[in-house]
Structure 1
């Protein structure tokens, strides 16, 4: 675990304590919400990372939660460097403890309990299904396409994240020289991979490869970023078949520049397998074209239907269209609600 505490807050400043594993979509969602609370509430942000010991990884969230009340030194013993996760917070301002996913859920509850025991005003906030009763938390932020509800549930369209319309504009300006060699018009291409909620076949990969070649032939320059789930063979074929002067493909080294790509593109083509990728593309305000795959879960059907209704996304039909919509800003919307409810000064 690596604590990431910045300079100390003032005595009464609101604080956001964000618990992450430092990886994957849960990091982007939890830290994105924490950063938005920093903006909306003037909060002091602390990120603390945790790593679960191998023998404890299969324990359900409910087991973790029950163990905290009966076992000494729990959950510290189940974590690597667990004591640092529960280090006291300075100051006396209100606190929001944020985590994402079932591994973080019992830790959010235990930190909340300890901080309240020390006399702090604390809100426990979970992003994604915690695999625990929702009423244990002050707020649970869930994708509306999950179809779950409750008195303290805050539904969101798509997913939370760190990418905003402002950060896209800033990164596009900063990295414009990197892509200056690509002629206009430019298309951002976000490629995912096989996932639990979709069926991705070899025929889908071949069709994607063919469509990208056709877009180049039609005059588009492509800025392509694969994801960790992308098929390496597909990416290798794209590097071999697409002309270098009209195509840039991220090599996976260093930070992914795709916020800049979104800002420098006239439109976006994104494979439909990732709620996060589609949601982040829709933060750009650019027309987002979803590349359909062979099959998808009803939950993904609900998500894409909602994005279609919102006006951000349309199914890719072989042509790149042009339309406008209000950029998706769900993370800031939720942060504003939480700041008003939980991080305002006590009266």
Structure 2
């Protein structure tokens, strides 16, 4: 079985496609291969002229599935499906084109689309993480984001939350990391706080690729600032208990409403609540695709 992924070059989109591919690889009884092709190698005009030929100069092997994530990939996925009519087209987002034009449309439930026909709803975006069951008792990871189109960084709220985490977990190993969006002045301020001596601090600039996903496999609990929705779902998929650190909101929309719903599901009420949900969405979706 061969999968062709049409890439727009965005890491977050690639993560979703890889998550589904790896889940299909785990579930399939046959060998599953993956080929990534950039948008630039699939000009629309050439795709039109290749209809029904079952071959294209940019595609090495005949696909059984064609994946796309991102608005710029949708038309290419549709047209490449005409080039390889036996392949199933899969869009991992709410498409701008009619849903019925694709074989499968995989959409996070918070987009508000009803699940019907070829639509599969998921809790959050898919990712390549699995629960490796290597979590260490009393090991905590704190992952900080920053300002976004929905959120405004609030230094005092974040400092207060970190202090509470430290004070509630005196005997825990607590690892803290930042993101590219974390204000540069925050770590110097944090290091001046008396409770910072209880933290092992790893700035994002000093961590190798894949470091945070490895830390999720080791942590029993992960605390994430609420701007990082994808990381909340990644930590849940890794099998961690997850806490949400609230910061200021610039606007309310379907994503912030989703966050409110998640926070309401906290099952361990401490000073700060923890989510304890078991997610394995990529595997569930892979099973549905392979059955059809």
1:255 to 178, 190, 209: 209
In structure 2, the residue matched to 1:8 is none
1:39 to 23, 26, 38: 26
Distance 1:225 1:314 in 2: 25
Distance 1:33 1:105 in 2: 17
TM-score normalised by the chain length of structure 2? 0.81
Aligned counterparts, 1:179-218, within 5 A: 185-196=138-149, 198-201=150-153, 204-218=154-168
Structure 1 position 238 matched with structure 2 position 190: yes
- For residues 221-263 of structure 1, the C-alpha deviation after alignment (integer angstroms, 9 at most, x for no partner) is 3212323333233245335656466323244342132222223
1:291 and 1:251, CA in 2 relative to 1: closer, same or farther beyond 3 A? closer
Structure 1 position 227 matched with structure 2 position 196: no
RMSD across aligned C-alpha pairs, in angstroms? 3.2
8 Å CA contact 1:211, 1:318 repeated in 2 = no
Distance 2:267 2:182 in 1: 22
Partner-residue secondary structure (3-state), 1:17 = strand
Structure 1 position 164 matched with structure 2 position 122: no
In structure 1, the residue matched to 2:82 is 113
Deviating more after overlay: 36-45 vs 156-165? 36-45
8 Å CA contact 1:99, 1:125 repeated in 2 = yes
In structure 1, the residue matched to 2:252 is 297
8 Å CA contact 1:222, 1:246 repeated in 2 = yes
TM-score normalised by the chain length of structure 1? 0.70
In structure 2, the residue matched to 1:50 is 38
Q: How many residues align?
A: 279
In structure 1, the residue matched to 2:52 is none
In structure 2, the residue matched to 1:7 is none
Aligned counterparts, 1:28-107, within 5 A: 28-41=15-28, 42-50=30-38, 52=40, 68=44, 71=45, 73=46, 86-89=58-61, 95-107=64-76
Distance 1:130 1:331 in 2: 19
1:222 and 1:111, CA in 2 relative to 1: closer, same or farther beyond 3 A? same
Unaligned runs of 5+ in 1: 1-13, 54-63, 77-82, 177-183, 342-347
8 Å CA contact 1:20, 1:30 repeated in 2 = no
Partner-residue secondary structure (3-state), 2:71 = coil
1:217 and 1:75, CA in 2 relative to 1: closer, same or farther beyond 3 A? farther
Deviation at 1:43, TM superposition (A): 4.3
Partner-residue secondary structure (3-state), 2:185 = helix
Aligned counterparts, 1:121-140, within 5 A: 121-140=86-105
Structure 1 position 143 matched with structure 2 position 93: no
Distance 2:35 2:156 in 1: 42
In structure 2, the residue matched to 1:15 is 2
8 Å CA contact 1:143, 1:157 repeated in 2 = yes
Distance 1:112 1:235 in 2: 49
Deviation at 1:131, TM superposition (A): 2.1
Partner-residue secondary structure (3-state), 2:12 = helix
8 Å CA contact 1:161, 1:280 repeated in 2 = yes
In structure 1, the residue matched to 2:289 is 338
Partner-residue secondary structure (3-state), 1:161 = coil
In structure 1, the residue matched to 2:53 is none
